Structure 1
Amino acid sequence: MAQDFPSHLIKHFFSIGNETKTNDHFFGQFSPELSPEKGQSSEHQEELNAINQEVLSHLKTIVPELKFKTYFENSLELLEIDSTGATFSVRTAFIKKSADLYKEEIAKALYNVLGTAYEIVITSKDQTADIAPAFGLSGVQIKDDNRPKSMATTKFTLDLTPTRDDLKSRVDAEYIEHMNPNKTGIRVDRSKTFDNFIVGPTNNIAQAAAKAVALTPGKEGKYPSLYIHSNSGLGKTHLLHAVANEIAEKHPSYTICLITARDFMDEMIQLMKTNRINEFVRKYTERIDVLMIDDIHELKNKEGTQDQFFHVFNEMHNKGKQLIFTSDKRPKEIDGISERIKTRLQWGLVVDIQPPDLETRIAILRRKMEALDLYINEDVLTLIASRIKTNIRELEGSLVRLKAVSELMNVEIEVDLVKEQLMLPNSENEKEVTIESVAKATAQYFRVPLADLKSKGRSQDITKARHVAMYLARKVVNAKQQEIGAFFGGRDHSSVIHAVNTISDKVKTDSSLSKDINAIESNL
């Protein structure tokens, strides 16, 4: 590539030196007339480094944090730039494979720095370390003699054996791709259905509501507006895709739009720039029958977008079309959203999803294990499920990581490997869960003396706490009925069976009880 920068960059960037920084951007000139022979090579590299730092600063604002740290931070390096293209390198070939997915974002970042569009090429340092100038091939070994060589006699070696760091980078990349799926330009995922959504006591109400909407969407159904909220990674987006797939099957004439709040905003801004905002409103109010917006809280502090959303919501609601929203908060808890929009988001059914209980977590792991064509014994599954409690994506991600480690490093998935890779504590630091520890945690949560749980007391508060403790002793500790009965005041096994069955039935419909049980499990 040419050693000097193209003259058209002069007005876009800066020269290294003592120029003044204005409005957080540098201005000045390159010196393309200087040649390497005149000492420009070091300045040339400094200019490349300066541009690279600006690109990284922009990338940090548009790429998810974990992906930025893995693929770009301390890895991405601008090698050269000419009038048409820019060449970057990253540490390893495995990182390059993932970084290639972000060429568009790198191009945007470079455009923001220099004001000109460039074609982006990404290489890896293990590909470029031994470049042969005559051929541009990685790993080519050329002997410096005077004898001409034919293609038949020319030989080269190419070492593609990955190092341990390469393998670790690939494991990390696969895990991060799972943990941070790119939601931009969201498309309906045909693999996410109601059939493979694991239902438990902490998400059954949300699942039932979503299923009802999918069967009868719009004003003819029970919930023409549905709002699902939970912490990240608990299945909200899965339910959106499941609804979309079900409606597409049951109501093929319906037009479905599944979009993120950020993409909704970007679309509106682009059409406003060309004075076509009426097209934006018409698209949603006239052409779309089912509107699903993921992460609606992303509209906070975006007053212009909120105004358009307000009109779209009103018009679609008045026409009896189906509206579904997800968020990480209740409508009234979202800061930066106008009161009129908070009110409308609460017009329909508002449901939440809580972290899954132990049995549900194990079921989720079994389903993911089947999807990955992976075998892990029950002891290891239970170990993982007992430690990762609050995030389904993290729970499934643990299997993604273990599968990658097992295949790339050719090792069996055993307890020691799981503890090392998932950073679980060693057995000597583990707290054993017993009937007594379950009873103490339950008594503490419900603020009932432990002695009362073992007594003959039959008040409503004591009975509820005792039943929950028996249920958890059976579920978490897997204690025998006789052992549980003996601990709780010498009760017979039929009393234990009654308590366990009572709680098992109630937890399916009582979301408050589900939260209580989940909180006690977390404390254990």
Structure 2
Amino acid sequence: MSGEFPFDHFLKKGQLEKPFSSPQTPSPQVQKSNENNDIGELRELETEILGLLKDSIPKQKFNAYFENTFEIVTFEGNQIIFSCSTQFIQHIISSQYLTHLENAILATIGKKVIIDIQVRSKNASLSSNDKNIFRAQATNSPGPEKTSENVKTPVKKPGDFKFLLDLNQTTDDLTKVAESKFLSHVRSDFGNTLIDSSKTFDTFIVGNSNAIAHATALAVASDPSRQGKQCKYQCLYIHSDSGLGKTHLLHAIANKVREIYPNLVVALVTARDFTKEMVSSIQDKTMADFQKKYSEVVDILMVDDIHELRNKPATQNEFFHIFNELQNRGKQLVFTSDKLPSEIDGIPERLRTRLQWGLLIDIQRPDFETRLAILKRKSAELDLYLQEDIFQLMASNLTHSIRELEGYLIRLSAHKDLLKVEIDIEMAKEVLNLSSKPRGEKISAETITKVVANFYKIPVIDIRSKSRTKKITHSRHVAMYLVQKHLSATLAEIGNFFGGRDHTSVIHGIKKIEQEIQLSGFVKQEISNLESALSESSEVF
């Protein structure tokens, strides 16, 4: 050991009075004590360095590449020699974590050194390898029976010692290499997958409008379909208007899966990014890698805004084959969109039927109670204190999306910070341009369908589906009648909205309701009640 080693950093004062490489020949007792001290000192140095590394890199990667596989062999002069268990780990550390290692050493000993990482056999450790530098030192030193006053024992210099390596890998070594390659491959291929750690099931506000979507997404995340274990909801399709929490649920599923099943590979991409990646693969002539990545490596494919694939035939064709491959392997598929598959224009029928194959769940606009809960949660996250009447004002007026609610809170927070004032009800009205009376909601085909669905207590998705059961068919015809009456929509527009039906089906449905109004006082009263609901405030919806 060199006299430059900072023993005083690791030893109590007075524990070591002389440098390790003393010019005098030590007695066997002193030499044995020094050997034990130096091994202990290296282990202390190693523990500090590994502790800093553990804090600076992901836990999974530390466990794979450093824990029980990486140790200090010698510290001589301005060089530290480390050993690791396999050539693969040597390559990973040298190529990806050398800067982390240099910073950890600098923080520990206070200077930069030359780092040499060598490979050892599993059995070639400091404690078991007979060729270890410390054992070599003890072997070459004279024992008590050979010591005499007339014989001087030559002092070994650091350069005289050699550390012999056994490069033959055991079965355990090869298993570690395989696992390390898997981890490295997964992380490198999907390192660009951006999953928002703040979007979890715990931070998702559940209300009547999204309870089913939340419960289904949680069920998928808790027990996803995977190769060898196909589960109930292998394909999940969540749709809603913009800003109602589809993307939040998508990230929540990804975060939950990574928590429970860290070995599963999650790919979360937008349809637009999927297209860009495919185009780049074509340009770079790496389509084989692109196909292998999504068809073989990925365990859970999650695509946000799947409707963005419309009018992109090449991307649609590639996605179609990836979908089939993952489906056949029993892997999990999750998609979000602001439209039902039947409403997405510009996609082939074969792709439309694939998307319709799974479980279709919709998220409706949040009701008053849910909006109020969202406002209070988000204001707490922004450290924004508001009076109860301000929350009531905002929840009554802002009905369209959760994103809208968040945007208004951010605006209030900015005014509070910039003007250094507390927000009261009058300032909130002025800043947000709101009134105490809830603003009305413009009637749309979507609004009418939701009112009809609530009235007959059936899901909106069933009204717009191909189902022909008596109750659903009657509800659909009522919705068509009201859309035509109140919106003056064309027959083609109504047909497209209700599942792509032709104009003859729409005419038949509308005429049937008109006839029933004339013949049945019960149906006439139903229509009257529905129109009253449409004329009420947005709280109905």
TM range (shorter): 0.3 to 0.5
Q: Which protein has the larger Cα radius of gyration, Structure 1 or Structure 2?
A: 2
Q: TM (normalized to structure 2)?
A: 0.46
